[in-house]
Amino acid sequence: MKIGIVSSIDESCGNATFSQHLIQNINKSGHSAIPIGLSLDLTQSLNSHIRSQADKEIKKICKEISTYDGVNIQFEAGLYGSSHRDIYRRLRLLLNANPNTTITLHATRFHDLSIYTKKKAIKDLLSLRLKDAISTLSRNLNNQKIIKNNLSYVKLCVKAKVKIITHTTRAQNSVIALTGYSNTYLHPIKFTDPNKVKPNRKYWLKRLNLENEDYLIGVFGFISEYKGIQTAISALKYLPKEYKLLIIGRQHPRTIREHMLINPFLEELLKEIKLDKKDDLKSRIIFTNELEDSEFMELAATVDCAWLPYLETGQDGSGVASILFDLSKRVVASQCKVFDELFRLVPEYKCERFDIGNYMELAGKTINYFEYRNLNKRMSYSDESQTYLYLNLLSE
């Protein structure tokens, strides 16, 4: 069976990493998975000429995948355009290019978490904090717009009668409840086979110029505010000096701007480190920047503890979390709903939890919790079951 996988294959993002892993596994199974890469320089452009070029590229992809036995579309809205109109038009073309198509929904929000922000806006208005009120209302309107757009993309999938794959029970139930469409399937994100990734402490201590007695804490993924990196830095202040924080990731490519000296959020992090009164954070925090996928996985298996101090974003899945729960011997995670969904689906994913932003609790859980996870325990879902699902849906 010849299968086309439409994704951001060659880009620096989780979608590309997941797609590459899926392609490798399908090829190992004896079938042929063909990577169909999106050019984000074209699809994400706001220039009218380049946007028309992106449309031509999408039509070219449609012509190619129409000849395949089956197609899987890895869908994250921002990969297909910078405006709702572009995304909708391009997705519609792709969904109708081949009658045997599945779509995997990534980062698709259907839930409104803005009740608090509405109350805050009213409170700010009554207190004459007009700037704060406008900011809150703007954020609330944007959330509503995202949810409305996401629903329209799902309705396109329903109209095309494609099979929908979600990563959480909540996302699957939402699709069914909002559209009445039951041709949906569920599997948490799997990036790796845990049995094939081994820790390599000696190598990483030498590479990062650390000592054998150092306790390695890892925060993984793009450097973004929602990852809770500020919480991580604050928590480190309450831990002994041998506890070292590794920030494993880079600035997100979509935040890079011409002539910008430094990303504002990154600058904020550096100022917080520089202003530390004890002046010891400079030697205890290491920025590794982006790593090769194999190194990223190996370091996830090597760290003494992985932190997931995320803020709530309404997301239904986290690739980084899936990797850490499969590979890291200890994980401490915030009370984000995205992790609740993972635990509900995969009860073997057990870890210590702490309230979002409570850096003292994060530090306390890290230093006082000594039960290591059993990584050899058979999981409800595996790398193998993920590959089987994709092949099974396209071979029916």
Q: What is the pLDDT of residues 44-60, one digit of tens each?
A: 888 989 999 999 999 99
Please state whether beta strands 243-248 and 305-308 pair in parallel, antiparallel, or not at all (unpaired). Answer: unpaired
DSSP 3-state of 334:
strand
Identify the CATH homologous superfamily for domain 194-368: Glycogen Phosphorylase B; (3.40.50.2000)
Among 71, 89, 63, which Cα is nearest to 156's?
89
The amino acid at residue 380 is: S
Please tell me the distance from the alpha carbon of residue 55 to that of residue 35, in angstroms, as a whole number. 19
**pTM higher than 0.75 for the full model?**
yes
AA identity, residue 392: N
> Which pLDDT score, from 0 to 100, does residue 127 have?
65
Decide whether 2-129+138-190+383-395 matches 194-368 in CATH topology. yes
Residue 308 burial class via C-beta count within 10 angstroms: exposed 0-12, middle 13-18, buried 19 and up: buried
> Residue 259 has what pLDDT?
82
Residue 113 pLDDT > 60: no
Pick from 98, 46, 94: nearest CA to 74: 94
Find out whether 335 and 356 touch, Cβ atoms under 8 Å: yes
Strands (E), 89-175: 101-105, 163-166
Architecture of domain 2-129+138-190+383-395 in this structure:
3-Layer(aba) Sandwich (3.40)
Rounded (5°) CA angle 144-44-52: 115
Give the helix/strand (H/E) hosting 183.
none
Higher pLDDT, 153 or 113: 153
In tens, the pLDDT along 146-186 reads 788 888 999 999 999 999 999 988 889 999 999 999 999 99
Residue 389 buriedness (CB in 10 A; 0-12 / 13-18 / 19+):
middle
Tokens of 85: 């109109």
Lowest mean pLDDT segment, chosen from 51-65, 191-205, 305-319, 368-382: 368-382
For the chain, give every domain's residue range. Answer: 2-129+138-190+383-395, 194-368
Is the pLDDT higher at 186 or at 253? 186
Q: What is the DSSP string of 196-237?
A: G----HHHHHHHTT--TTPEEEEEESSB-GGGTHHHHHHHHT
